[in-house]
Amino acid sequence: MSFDSKLPEEWKKLLNPSQIEAIETIDGPVLIMAGAGSGKTRVLTHRYAHLVKHHNVDVEHILAITFTNKAAEEMKSRISDLLNLKISPKWISTFHSLCVKILRIHGDKIGYQRNFTIYDQLDTNKVVRLCMSENSIDTKQYSPKNFRAQISNLKNSMTTPGEAIENAENFYDVKVAEVYSSYEKKLMMANALDFDDLLVKTVELLETNESILKFWSNKFQFIMVDEYQDTNLVQYKLVELLGSNNKNVCVVGDSDQSIYAFRGADIRNILEFEKDFKDAKLIQLDKNYRSTKKILNLANSIISNNDRKIDKNLWTDNPEGDEISSIRFTSEKDEARWIAEEIKNISNADKDKEVAIFYRTNSQSRLFEEELRNLDLNYKLVGSVGFYERKEIKDIVSYLQFLINDHDTVAFERIVNEPKRGIGQTTLKKIREYMNENGCSIQEALESLYNFKNLSNRVISNLLEFKDLINELKPYALQGPSKAIEKTLELTGYKLNLIKDGTLESQNRIENLDELLTSAFNYENLYDDEADEPYAKLRDYLESISLFSETDNLEESDKILLMTLHNAKGLEFPYVFITGMEENLFPHERSTNESKLALEEETRLCYVGITRAENKLYLTHSWSRTLWGGTVYNQPSRFLEWGSEHFKTVDFSVNFQQNDDLEFNIDKGQKIVHDKYGEGTVLKVNGNEITVQFDDDIGIKYLDAEWAPIKFQ
């Protein structure tokens, strides 16, 4: 297929020459290397619209893949506006949403019913813990979370349980492989898939069923993939398979923004695209529309220290912009207080301006939250316990899941005694044992209660009441999510129990449940798919919840945001604070102790943080930081050294100088004088670290005698 077409003049006015080339190059594989803020969304949406409007390609034959629901919805909205569509194109989605659609249709070919449940992290952690217990693995000695992470890594490397057992090199690997095998069996029995499975099982389906592969690869004449640098092996395989027929695969990404290696992303996918896809064309988008010249100069300076990248140099027509500030504090408390006060000043000057505080680890958020609250500043913490992870929400959602999939063991165990029905862990253990011995489902076990040994009549009666309740609720589930939620809250007595409790916590839970009901009504109002089967509307609602991410919930009203640097990806803000820029914190000590590749990823993370800023950028660090109950003294981040010519440094700290001539013959009871804390008494000596009692207002401090600003009396 060959094309020769030019864009309309009204479009060209909005685009630069590189963007026009990217839009018009639609024949064969294309790699669009899109730097931060270079207008890649505009390119993708116009490229899509160009195919439809000027080449008469049906939207059913174009697949566009993003990494977040928010990005997918934005793309749908823009394309609908460009093409004057009343209904949004169906095949613009995340990887996971795409795979769910395919598995709903063909999942039976690999042993799954269409009503399968999607397990979230809480669900999968519970299953892993149970599998560990059944394999006699002490969950106090071995972390279920780590086992789950290892299983995820095995899945994303396309390693089966059998291969994991064969490849095990030590005792730990053997145990992980055993749990992995048990875990897969339990998910299959529950007719459930985890997030990794959605991708892995889809690839398995396409690789083992030639007719199904032919259908989907013929269907999608054109494929576009956003954020390609974040793809893992499974996602790479999926794109390769779906693009195997027409070869019109266009990927957009930036090798300098690959920051998710910890969850399996492989930078080689973008670096080697031209090798993997024959005759691929490379197009560079290097004009930045977001940031000032000073911010871009700093970003370019930082990323130039990496070797693994496709060379480019971001530039902009934007003004030089404000001076970038690098600010030094004595402690992380001082850092947080100053930032909160500065945000207060920004808000007073322009309350509509968005401000973001970035940090390397979640634990750093606490002090910022405290200081912002002290100044009565409203903020949103991105990455905290999500709405759908709250107990009351999870309880009701589990009821809904069980209504449409009565094989779901995790949902059953969560709700069977919620509200209390006198069904404890001993009973659940007996049910699990019966299921394992007889190879049956929860549904079949409930039909055979009188075959159980050592179940009291009271417990049997309670289980039968639960079974009757589920049967009573099922007709309402056919009507959609709002009616199912409403009747579940009513018939279970869940909401009534909260009302009777009458506590502030109960009231908050009721408000959350009301919000859940609202979300169901809103979903139904926007639902435009034909309900082609029983429970379809409820199933699709639950699917949308399962695939929900925290960044999808950001609102324009959220003016002060706190988040890790990893969560900042894809966002932009007028004001940005990158905090904790200290060695061993950012870059993280793991990266400095491992390989150069790990340090390069930290460098890319810094680059991502910097390029989120539109107008004003602050880089902060402190000399001392409290960790694990003690005080550590970190040197300024090497990133500050690499970019030092592009910012001014402001020092708000007590001047820390290394005590080069200090002889460490310090004794307990010795008097010292600290530049900030005043006179104190040494309580304990452990190498260079000393524990010092200052006056009552200051209290006990843990100091590094080599670096602390102290004198000995």
Catalytic positions:
40-41, 226-227, 257, 612
Q: Decide if 23 contacts 54 (C-beta within 8 A).
A: no
Question: Helix or strand or coil: residue 388?
Answer: helix
Residues with Cβ within 8 Å of residue 555, at least 6 apart in sequence: none
Handedness of CA 638, 641, 642, 643 (dihedral sign): positive
* Sequence-ordered alpha helix ranges (H) in 291-390: 293-303, 332-349, 365-374
Tell how many helices (H) and how many strands (E) occur in the chain. 29, 21
Cα–Cα distance, 651 to 664 (Å, whole number): 29
Q: Decide if 666 contacts 677 (C-beta within 8 A).
A: no
* DSSP calls for 157-191: TT--HHHHHHH--SHHHHHHHHHHHHHHHHHHHTT
The secondary structure of residue 450, as a DSSP letter, is G
Beta strand 573-578 with 222-225 is unpaired
Handedness of CA 370, 375, 378, 380 (dihedral sign): negative
Residues with Cβ within 8 Å of residue 585, at least 6 apart in sequence: 360, 361, 625, 634, 637
Cα–Cα distance, 271 to 262 (Å, whole number): 18
Residues with Cβ within 8 Å of residue 406, at least 6 apart in sequence: 412, 441, 442, 443, 470
Cα–Cα distance, 118 to 195 (Å, whole number): 7
Report the candidate in 626, 615, 17, 527 with the shortest Cα–Cα distance to residue 324.
615
